[in-house]
Chains A and B, each alone.
Chain A
Amino acid sequence: MEDNKSPIMDRIAEANKAATTGIDAKDIENWITIHIMGKAYKVPADLTILTAMEYAGYKFVRGVGCRQGFCGACATVFRKKGDYKLQTGMACQTRAEDGMYLVQIPFTPAEKAIYDVTKEPYEASVFIRYYPEVTRCVSCNTCTKACPQDLEVMDYVQAAIRGDFDGLSDISFDCIQCGLCAMRCPAEIVQYHVAQLGRRMFGRYGLGVPDHLRKRVKEITEGKFTDEMNKLVSCSTEELRKIYTEREKEPE
């Protein structure tokens, strides 16, 4: 492991530790050096990229959300020491490693099409109408390699080209819209928006209305939950907070 003993680095680490992670430098045995936007920082080993950056003094206003790997806000790209491969991940889920070069991609510029699923034909042409660039896909599989969710992104783009709504919805179901696939696509396709259009269409036309939903809608219209709802609405903030913290939780 590289021992980076620059005094400036130590001062930065010193100044930031309490404000960010609350870790006391004295307690840390293993240090690594990471390069954030080309500048080297000494950070404790075993942090995620997100916490390592915070330790180094970065404060996230945007580009972070759930810290659990679900919201897709903390996309990051990096190269590891000695490896030519450009890798991607969620900063909150990826461990910082010694010698890493990294940068955050907090947002992927992309226009989201406006459409009304109730007015669109359930046909392959819907993809081509709103995202004609899907037909530019060269099957390079770069998107699949980039996906932190390990989705077969290329396969769902292919499903879109041939109008396979079912296949697309199935493959893309766990997409967290981080945008990394789109940043890497040589055909400039915005895969996650395409997938969302496909899933919406599939939800509307492919799935049919499930029985339990039909039943619940009936219960709501018949007023089964009206009293409960009214009670909640008239609660004070304090009471609401109490109800929330004491709510019944799903078992792990």
Chain B
Amino acid sequence: MNPTNTKETKSTSSGNMKFPYYPGCTLKTTAKNFENSAIATARALGVELLEIPRWNCCGTVFSLAQDDLIHHVASVRNFIRVQEMNDYGLVKNENRLVTLCSMCFNTLKSTNRRMKENAEDLQKINELMYREEDYKGNVEVLHFLELLKSLGYEKIREKVTKPLKDLNIAPYYGCMILRPKEIAIDDPEDPTIQKDILEALGVSVIDTPYKKVCCGSYQTVKDKYIVAELAYDILSHARKKGAEALTTVCPLCAFNLDQRQQAVKEKHPDFEEMPVFYITQLMTIAFGMDKDVFGFEQNYVDPRPLLKSKSLIED
């Protein structure tokens, strides 16, 4: 095993619970602000996210064709890394793999489900990867929101030093953490997990039926205007209901709803821009953290004017 591209997560506070953490490639670039803010909030809540060594891209949204096993290999490889982390004592008996990106979550969890339910497929994959140790099928894939829920909303509330008063936020869930049912982290038709977290931060939560409507996903590569129309509906509906910003937990939702506002404006000149946060960015503010971890310079629509107007940040 070659540990060259293993990045040690620095400054581990000793008392913290340690979880294997799967970042995903986008979290290392355009969604670095998501990763940084999530790691910081987790740490504040007594959880250390340990990046798994030598992880590879999960190869998101693989084809759903029944015979397309090869695209499950990438996920299984990452599960083997979790086994190795336990073998090498990097974590102690911790098979829960935490993800931030919704699409990684969906990809990893769907594969895991198939491997657990279909011994023949698991065997085929193990044989294909004969250089790796076998995947034994006991990893659990956990989305960061589920981790927060399991820690308890009360615990989040206790950490809040700067309640996000008067901030009207519509949580957006998208598809990949809600559907299909078998892997959903919440009720697919009426999810509330983000609402519960946001309320613990003191936010006024705006509920909209668009919270679970697809943002267009990968269509953004082929035709940005398809996505722009969906983003327009999602954002303007939230605005109509009184929201000042959206929260998300997926780098692709974030791109489609935030950056694609540029395309929305081309088609709808009267459209007013609206900031889109990663929910963890709001947590870092509420926890009174240093502005270095906010990462607002990576947001396309600058949320700072809104936050300043509510006296939640200084310059």
A-side residues, CB < 8 A to B, are 123-124, 137-141, 144-145, 152, 154-155, 158-159, 161-164, 167, 170-171, 186
Contact = CB atoms under 8 A, between A and B. Distances in A.
A155 B70 contact: no
A134 to B, nearest CB: 10
A145 B128 CA distance: 12
B73 interface: yes
A139 B73 contact: yes
B57 A161 contact: yes
A154 to B, nearest CB: 7
Interface of B: 2, 4-5, 25, 28-29, 54-57, 59, 70-71, 73-74, 77, 128-129, 131
Given A163-B29, A164-B5, 18 more contacts: A137-B56, A137-B59, A138-B71, A139-B74, A139-B77, A141-B129, A141-B131, A152-B2, A155-B2, A155-B56, A158-B5, A158-B25, A158-B57, A162-B25, A162-B57, A163-B28, A167-B5, A170-B5
Nearest to A140: B73
Contacts of A145: 131
A138 B29 contact: no
B73 A138 contact: yes
Contact of A186 (B25, B70, B74, B129): B70
Contacts of A139: 56-57, 59, 73-74, 77
Nearest to A134: B57
Contacts of A167: 4-5
7 contacts: A139-B59, A140-B70, A140-B128, A141-B131, A158-B25, A162-B28, A164-B5
Contacts of A137: 56-57, 59
B4 A155 contact: yes
Contacts of B5: 155, 158-159, 164, 167, 170-171
Contacts, number: 59
Interface centre among B29, B71, B131 (most CB of A within 10 A): B29
Contacts of B56: 137, 139, 154-155, 158
Contacts of B57: 137, 139, 158, 161-162
Contacts of B25: 124, 158, 161-162
B29 A162 contact: yes
A138 B70 contact: yes
Contacts of A144: 131
Nearest to A152: B2
Contact of A171 (B4, B59, B77, B131): B4
A201 to B, nearest CB: 14
Nearest to A123: B29
A162 B101 CA distance: 14
Nearest to B60: A135
Contacts of A141: 73, 77, 129, 131
Interface centre among A141, A152, A164 (most CB of B within 10 A): A141
Contact of A164 (B28, B74, B129): B28
A170 B73 contact: no
A163 B23 CA distance: 14
A125 to B, nearest CB: 8
A154 B59 CA distance: 13
Nearest to A168: B5
Given A124-B29, A162-B29, A162-B57, A138 B2 contact: no
B102 to A, nearest CB: 18
A-B complex: 4 closest residue pairs judged by Cβ atoms: A139-B74, A167-B5, A162-B25, A139-B56
A220 B54 CA distance: 43
Nearest to B129: A141
B172 to A, nearest CB: 25
A56 to B, nearest CB: 33
Nearest to B5: A167
B267 to A, nearest CB: 25
Contacts of A163: 28-29
A227 B16 CA distance: 66
A105 to B, nearest CB: 22
B131 A170 contact: no
Contacts of B77: 139, 141
A152 B54 CA distance: 10
Interface centre among B5, B73, B74 (most CB of A within 10 A): B5
B218 to A, nearest CB: 11
A140 B131 CA distance: 11
